[in-house]
Structure 1
Amino acid sequence: MTTIAEKCAAHGRTYIAQGEYAISGQEDAVISTLLGSCVATCLWDPVARIGGMNHFLLPEGPPSGTVVSSFGANAMELLINALARSGAARGRLRAKVFGGAEMYKGLTSAGSRNGLFVLSYLFREGIPCDGQSLGGYHARRVEFVPAEGRARQKFVSDARVVETLPVPAKTPDVEFF
């Protein structure tokens, strides 16, 4: 897998996976993804009528820089810069965010950390968030029409939350004699 996966959604449907993003200004383009604890950010410039979507795994990654586009800040900058190169103005961008489910209840907080990260990032960068569907316990399928800034989601009904049992408290050392 490459470290940067940019797709141009020219016509029709473009699917993005973890660590990827796609942009388009074509009227009939649709960008889609499937999310669990990952987050997808849909950004759109309503004047330039161009938009894009990313799909990231965690807010931050290891210092080694492996697959940097899978981590929050890098994924956001890659998408914003690609939109700017295609004629979008950073100051006009609007956002809609999805994902951040807790797919393994009690085991990890990756979903909630992703959701908090993206909302905080957008706030710091002055990008208004027009809509969000974050958290919960279900996977989502998201479709984004970048030229119009329209997004829709569908919860995936066959995805199940994996319940984890609480780790028992450490028992005191017992000595038999």
Structure 2
Amino acid sequence: MSAVATKENRVHIIQGEFFVASEQNVMVTTILGSCVAACIRDPLAGVGGINHFLLPGNTSRVKSDEAERMGVHLMELLVNGLLKSGARRERLEAKLFGGAKTVRAHTDIGKHNVEFAERFLRDEGIAHIGGSTGGLQGRRIQYWPVSGRARQILLTGTLQVERPVVAPAAAVDTHAGELELF
């Protein structure tokens, strides 16, 4: 019997976008600085998705043409997209990425984005199972929504340094090779 090769379908999202998939061969990428991406899936339904937001946002103060870049809007769109695709809220699990402090300023936008995303997950009863947030470097994220596998590549100017993505309880060895979570 011969092996069957499957072509990986790569999708790139940018700030203000979200994407939901239920196909095994889909991998979603995005590049983050102070922005945050929430990778959320329902492992039993076999559906997952990702978003990419610029600021936490408050729907009462956000102009309609700016709402698409705000976390409060994109988190709701992502969760609703997952539910419409067969996910169940009580089975959702999330990984958060991004939130770097990429600009020297008094306000740490990345930190506020991460705090918002963590609070959203807590308030919605969504399990936060890992990811990588904070620091001073941007990240390239690769996420396979159905399996929940995630990989990040830290960006430092023109040099890219690969680092493992680790679950919160695991020890972190920054000099280790690539680690993929399933």
Give how far 1:132 is off.
Answer: 2.5
What's the CA shift string for 1:131-165, capped at 9, x where partnerless?
A: 021111000000110110111111012269xxxxx
> Over aligned residues, Cα RMSD in angstroms?
1.5
The within-5 A match list for 1:6-155 is 12-60=9-57, 62-155=61-154
Task: Kindly report structure 1 stretches of 4+ aligned residues shifted beyond 3 Å.
Answer: none
**Among the aligned pairs, what percent are the same residue?**
42
Q: Given that residues 139 and 159 in structure 1 are in contact (C-alpha distance below 8 angstroms), is that contact kept between their aligned partners in structure 2? A: no
* Structure 1 residues without counterparts, runs of 5 or longer: 1-10, 161-177
Q: 1:138–1:159: structure 2 CA closer, same or farther, 3 Å change rule?
A: farther
Q: Please tell me the residue identity of whatever aligns with 1:33.
A: T
Q: 1:135–1:159: structure 2 CA closer, same or farther, 3 Å change rule?
A: farther
- TM-score calculated relative to the size of structure 2: 0.78
Q: Please tell me the residue identity of whatever aligns with 2:16.
A: G
Give how far 1:105 is off.
Answer: 1.9
Report the equivalent of 1:173.
none
**Aligned mates of 2:62, 2:34 — CA distance in 1:** 22
**Aligned mates of 2:40, 2:82 — CA distance in 1:** 9
**Aligned mates of 2:10, 2:66 — CA distance in 1:** 24
Q: Please tell me the residue identity of whatever aligns with 2:83.
A: A
**Aligned mates of 2:153, 2:129 — CA distance in 1:** 18
Rg larger for: 1
Q: Given that residues 102 and 108 in structure 1 are in contact (C-alpha distance below 8 angstroms), is that contact kept between their aligned partners in structure 2? A: no
Give how far 1:63 is off.
Answer: 3.1
Q: Please tell me the residue identity of whatever aligns with 1:101.
A: A
**Aligned mates of 2:124, 2:23 — CA distance in 1:** 26
Q: Please tell me the residue identity of whatever aligns with 2:88.
A: A
**Aligned mates of 1:94, 1:142 — CA distance in 2:** 17
Give how far 1:69 is off.
Answer: 2.1
Q: Please tell me the residue identity of whatever aligns with 1:138.
A: Q
